[in-house]
Amino acid sequence: MLRIKVLFILSLLCLSVFVLGCGEKNTVKPLTDKIAPTIAITQPSPGDVLFGKVTISIKVSDNQSIAYTQLYFNDALVISDSSFHNKFEWDTTVWDDGHYFIYAMAYDNSGNFGVSDTIAVEVHNQFVLKLYNFIFTPIEIDVVEQGQFTINPFDSLELTYDTNPDTIAFSAETYGRNSEGVQLGSAFTWDVVENVNGIFSRYYSLDIDSTWFFLYMKNTATSYSYLFPVYINYNSAYEIQEDILIPPDNVLYSIGYYRAFSSTQIRADIAGVEPIAYRLWKQGTDFTFPFTINQYVLLKNSFLAKANEHEIELNSSIFPQRVIYQIPEKISQTRQCLHIYGRAQ
């Protein structure tokens, strides 16, 4: 009986060792995932200029599965997506124009994360319209959805739109006038409608072509030598009589725009002198047209009332040098100043 009890106890001990040994041998420890996801921004490209709504595309891979992705602009988290979309729509119109540094991060279910390279882009939604006046009279301009403005000679107007307007439209007019505002010479108008979708700015120079000139006159006589009237393109089919009085006050008078011919003559009578006395200036003899855009002549009378005695100045230095502004390079694009010529009315 004692022997049976001993054998039973020994059997229980062996069975316990067997069970414990088998249990320890068959336990599987979980493997730790230490492989980080890889992530890259495939769109846009570094250096791109963005406007409107754009798509940001990313490419993500992992040895197991992605938990979520994140997108950062200038180190600020803007998107955290647990549903793992690899494309994001960015409405740049609600962001300020400027430079942005973009990168993305991806996390897997083990807590590993990967970081993409940073790309630099520029947001530019604003549109700039700039108009230059390189002529000699104020230009009255009406820009659709912007308002009415006056651009003085040798000045410019710059308008900034919050977003690209797709189409710009404006009309403008200018002419010479006397002290009462009455038109002298020809009026010129501009009417522009242009599709500007996809560009960031447009620069225009409102010009008068080389078949016209602007007339200035100055009477520096010291006596009662009043000039009245003035005939432009005298003794030709294009003759225009301007009933303007130019006193001997050494003041520069702006007259108006007139046709420029190789045979142009300008006559100014001496008021109140009998028999008739006058000044006569001849193109090619007393002055020479350069026949360039935005040209002018300044006729200067410094003599007493003697017929055909005069002085002239051509393109006098009293005016700023008329150069086409070099538009600075901006946003990796060169802005060109477009010359548009007014239509004579």
Asked whether residue 8 is domain-assigned, the answer is: no
Domain count, the chain: 3
Q: Pick from 97, 123, 149: which residue ends a domain?
A: 123
Q: Pick from 103, 123, 143: which residue ends a domain?
A: 123
Q: Pick from 95, 123, 151: which residue ends a domain?
A: 123
Whole domain around residue 86: which residue ranges?
A: 38-123
Residues of the chain below pLDDT 50: 1-2, 4, 6-9, 13, 15, 17-26, 28-29, 303-335
What pLDDT, on a 0 to 100 scale, did the predictor assign at position 331? 28
What pLDDT, on a 0 to 100 scale, did the predictor assign at position 11? 55
What pLDDT, on a 0 to 100 scale, did the predictor assign at position 84? 67
What pLDDT, on a 0 to 100 scale, did the predictor assign at position 163? 87
* Nearest Cα residue to 35 out of 106, 86, 101, 98: 106
Query: CA-CA distances (angstroms) from residue 103 to 63, 113, 119, 162, 324?
Result: 21, 13, 7, 27, 42
CA distance 109 to 84: 12
Residues 256 and 308 in one domain: yes
- What CATH number corresponds to the domain at position 94? 2.60.40.10
What pLDDT, on a 0 to 100 scale, did the predictor assign at position 19? 45
Residues 193 and 223 in one domain: no
The number of helices, as runs of H, and strands, as runs of E, in the chain is 1, 26
